[in-house]
Amino acid sequence: MNILNKLWVIISETYKSQLKSFTFLISAFLPLIFAALIMIPLTMLNNSENNSESPSVALVSNQKTVRDNFIKNYPKDMDKKINNREQAQKAVKNGDIDGYMFLNVNNDWVKATYYGNDEADVNVKTHVMKYISLLQNNLNNKNANLNAHQAKIVNTQPKYDSVIHKHTVQEYNESDDAKHLATNICIFVMYFILIIYSSITAQTIANEKGSKIIEVIFSSTTAMKYFIGKIIAIAGLIMTQIVIYIISGLVVYQINANSSLIKDNQHFINLIIKSLLGTPLIYTVLGIILYVILSAVCGALVVKASDASKAAQPVVLISILGFVLSNTLQSMPNSLIYKICSYVPLLSNYFMPTRIINGTVGTSSVLISILILVATIVLITWFIGRAYKGLMLQNSNNSFLIRLRDGFRYR
């Protein structure tokens, strides 16, 4: 129990100190601020468009049933509250509506007249013309005393049909676009977090090394336990940041749930979310943890804390390499090099999620890749944990590789 208590103290203290750090606050909330600066104008624009789509035209008639039938069949953009000409004239004068359509129906003909400050909307005009044409045909049949058969012949309309050969039409594939976007989001978020936490981890470890307090810590607990506690705390910090992003996304989604922007693209958004959650998220977390472990080693090898950012450069370069390669080869997920990279630790977290999202890999291959990644994390953690004390306590000015060798030889 004492071992678990000490481990928990290491985890909680590291987590709390990093949670309050300026670096974490900037990395966690600055992207959200930028996203808000982009989303707020879009939301305002969308709301203004929605407001502009409110009923702007009224339709009145000297026959109530004529008006009611039109409103029933064509409710869009029609103000249902205005039901007589006097109300319509007053609404136009007050600027409540753009104009109104008056249908004058008598025994012989139907006439539609639009009154407004501007020309009538083309869509409204088209529907009104269709409606009054139907009314006029009915009046003509009635006045001509045609029987049912004759009326049917007179009202026969031409037909239009089309035959499309599927192989000549390139259809829009929403699923493919959603997968492509989800892949880019996954890769970019992973790269963004890796770059930040590689530096944070190296700096955190380097600061402790330079403070000399590390000798006191190692006298009260094992280096292995201390190293594992540090890694778990930073992994928890990363999960906290991911959760912040997810919650922020859900809040934005709920706020704009009724907007036309969300409603019109609901299926597309669902496809993206479905592609991102699940196995790709597991790869993101595991990949980041592996990079964090290597960054901790880099931080432990510096002579001065100010050199921590430089020490993390090898890890950052590997991350950049994975990011660039995955983006460059994204259009070839079935190529041999892409398949090989999807099993290589430090690269698989970039490559395998793309294959999963695009559906070009089976479950067994994914499980093998995850097992390789997990086994690599466990082995490197165990190996470095055993040598962590030597890495932290030696302060020679030798080259990076010699310091690494001396650290592993330390007992």
Most confident of 135-139, 216-220, 372-376: 372-376
Q: Please, are residues 60 and 88 in contact by the beta-carbon 8 Å criterion?
A: yes
Nearest of 207, 358, 186 to residue 288 by alpha carbon: 186
In this predicted structure, the answer to whether residue 312 has a pLDDT above a threshold of 70 is: yes
Q: Please, are residues 326 and 354 in contact by the beta-carbon 8 Å criterion?
A: yes
398 vs 128, more confident: 128
Count of Cβ atoms closer than 10 Å to residue 150 Cβ? 12
Terminal-to-terminal C-alpha distance of the chain:
27
Give the DSSP H or E segment for 101.
strand 99-105
Q: Please, are residues 102 and 85 in contact by the beta-carbon 8 Å criterion?
A: yes
54 vs 84, more confident: 84
Q: Please, are residues 203 and 301 in contact by the beta-carbon 8 Å criterion?
A: no
Is this model's pTM higher than 0.75 or not? no
Q: Which residues, listed in sequence order, are joined to residue 104 by a DSSP beta bridge?
A: 111
Residues 6+ apart with CB under 8 A from 81: 87
Q: Where are the alpha helices (DSSP H) in 301-362?
A: 308-311, 313-328, 336-341, 348-358
Q: What pLDDT, on a 0 to 100 scale, did the predictor assign at position 164?
A: 43
Q: Please report, as a single letter, which amino acid is at residue 61.
A: S
Q: Please, are residues 85 and 60 in contact by the beta-carbon 8 Å criterion?
A: yes
The pLDDT mean for the chain works out to: 78
* pLDDT band at residue 75 under the 50/70/90 scheme: low
What is the C-alpha separation between 328 and 53, in angstroms, rounded?
Answer: 43
Average pLDDT over every residue of 143-150:
73
* pLDDT band at residue 1 under the 50/70/90 scheme: very low
Q: What pLDDT, on a 0 to 100 scale, did the predictor assign at position 168?
A: 44
* pLDDT band at residue 165 under the 50/70/90 scheme: very low
In this predicted structure, the answer to whether residue 155 has a pLDDT above a threshold of 70 is: no
Phi and psi dihedrals of 63, rounded to 5?
Answer: -125, 120
234 vs 255, more confident: 234
Q: What pLDDT, on a 0 to 100 scale, did the predictor assign at position 285?
A: 83
